[in-house]
Amino acid sequence: MKQMNQSVGVISLRKHMDRDDGWGNAEGREVFQRILKTIESDPGKLIYRISLEGVKRTDASFPRESVVELARRFREKKGFCLVDISDPDLLDNWHDAAVRREQPLTVWQSGKPKIIGPSPTSGNEAILNYILSKGEATAADVAKTLNLQVTNASTKLRQLEKEGFVMRRQEPSPTGGIEYRYFRIG
């Protein structure tokens, strides 16, 4: 994962806001545009850690129109996660925003990932939890651990990626050809 660390960026949400409170659709759209410019200025980044340090409060519409919309727009291309969240009430509003946009977000608290927003299907939940705990996995890893057929594991992993729960990268397979490695966002 050393290569991936080079493609991770940290964005301070507070630096893109006019004040420490974020309210409403219009303000959210303004911040969306500001963050989009930051992303476009460094297209090599694959993952963005959005720091909420210094953000006092937001309603649900502000994150829905800013960060959650960015995550939805870049789904399958770039990953977004939240860091530096100390207020559970703040996180509730972000969860509501993610549900409304149908865009899951990984939140890192105390070094552990959790997902806010929509839930995966019950058939994919164990696979998502496996990737969240291990960091990354191939279809063969998941199949072996969870007693699935490799094709079934591959289909479920691809669905989790398409829905925005995980990301994937392609690498050479030890047996020839290519292999996809699915990983948590963070």
CATH code at position 134: 1.10.10.10
Of 116, 126, 128, residue with least CA distance to 158:
128
Q: Please tell me whether residues 45 and 76 are part of one structural domain.
A: yes
Report pLDDT digits (tens) over 101-147.
999 999 999 999 999 999 999 999 999 999 999 999 999 999 999 99
Residue 138 belongs to domain spanning: 122-183
Q: Yes or no: say if 35 and 66 are a contact pair by the CB < 8 Å rule.
A: yes
CA distances from 182 to 43, 68, 122, 173, 186 (A): 21, 21, 19, 14, 13
* Strand 47-51 relative to strand 79-83, pairing: parallel
Report pLDDT digits (tens) over 146-182.
999 999 999 999 999 999 999 999 998 888 889 999 9
Q: Please tell me whether residues 19 and 105 are part of one structural domain.
A: yes
* CATH number of the domain residue 27 falls in: 3.30.750
Q: Please tell me whether residues 20 and 87 are part of one structural domain.
A: yes
3-state secondary structure of 1: coil
- Which pair of tokens denotes residue 121? 């299907």
Residue ending a domain, among 68, 96, 116, is 116
Radius of gyration of the chain (CA): 17
Angular region, 111: left φ>0, alpha ψ -120 to 50, beta rest: left
What is the tally of structural domains in the chain? Answer: 2
Q: Cα(47)–Cα(50) distance, rounded to whole angstroms?
A: 10
Q: Cα(154)–Cα(141) distance, rounded to whole angstroms?
A: 10
What pTM was computed for the model?
0.93
